[in-house]
A and B are shown apart, each in its own frame.
Chain A
Amino acid sequence: MSWLDLFRRRGSAPVARERLQILLSHERAAARGEPDLLAKLREEILAVITKHVTVDHEKVEVSMDRGATVSTLEINVEIPNPSGLLLAGI
């Protein structure tokens, strides 16, 4: 890296390239008819939770952050307090 780079903004093209590669690998999988993993996960996780706790189905957020090597699944379930809580420690 030359000293000039200190004054130059880093190019945004590598970011564009990486975002596209990740997005398209998932879109191509979807186009091949592979099931929507996120919807399935949401449904099954919710089924497990509602066995023990009353939850508002609208107050469940499931999101996935897709990375090139690792993806993170984030689940946010809002549980009403205190009456709906049947199981401590969730």
Chain B
Amino acid sequence: MAKVLVVTSGKGGVGKTTSTAALGAALAKTGQKVAVIDFDVGLRNLDLVMGAERRVVFDLVNVVQGVAKLSQALIRDKRLDTLWLLPASQTRDKDALTEEGIAGIIKEMRPNYDWVICDSPAGIERGATLAMRFADIAVIVTNPEVSSVRDSDRIIGLLDSKTEKAEKGQRVEKHVLITRYDPQRAARGEMLNIEDVLEILSTPLLGIIPESEEVLRASNIGSPVTLSNPTSSPARAYLDAARRLKGDDVPMHIPTDRKGLFDKLFGRRAA
């Protein structure tokens, strides 16, 4: 029976799609059966970040409207045979998703996967509320920056009130994933540090993803960073976070890329 996980944030551009792809691939690498669903109807991008943009035939809205079967819309990853993608549609109709439709899809997927990961759109409109609606676990992606932390706080409030679990008097298990973290700037007092963010949000930490060039490189080539360069610092941070999701006890630390003297003198190799 799958665990339904929502990757959410409120604010846009903090790394929801990057994190969905990286965590999905990291879990699938361990042999778990994983489906990632793009809820950003009208602005789909998970397909592009995962390198499946030319293989989209049917999408989430087609399945909700009964135009296609779930099995027809799911795209199997070319690198990992336990990873599947359900793309969003590019329709401009913001009412294309219905709660009943999504409930049906999640219900159909639960018995067939270990993880169903819902990539939420930014904002607090229908796409975002439906992405979190049936979640068991939430990963709140937060940058160490005031507007992102404020929006995360708002999203935490919605997870505690507007989800199916909350309405039944249960709790969605919540985790903060801090992305684009720069330990040096935080040490100099130029960036909110981990303790500040966690204290303000009073939510446990899933992982710390350091700011890295590898994240842009991964999206450039259409591969989750945990597959494109598994030894890079963001990939190691995501792989650790995925293990924590599975219940492993992994000590928290911030991976770094060791640079040799040559790198320091001449900059990083061209990616």
Contact = CB atoms under 8 A, between A and B. Distances in A.
B191 interface: yes
A74 B157 CA distance: 31
Interface string B146-169: 100110011001000000000000
Contacts of A16: 145-146, 192, 196
A12 B150 contact: no
Interface residues of A, number: 16
A43 interface: no
A27 interface: yes
Contacts of B192: 13, 16-17, 20
Nearest to B157: A31
| A contact patch SS | helix
Contacts of B200: 17, 20-21, 24
A17 B189 CA distance: 11
B95 interface: no
A8 B190 CA distance: 11
Nearest to A10: B189
A89 interface: no
9 contacts: A11-B190, A13-B196, A16-B145, A17-B196, A19-B146, A20-B200, A24-B150, A31-B154, A31-B157
Interface of A: 8, 10-14, 16-17, 19-21, 23-24, 27-28, 31
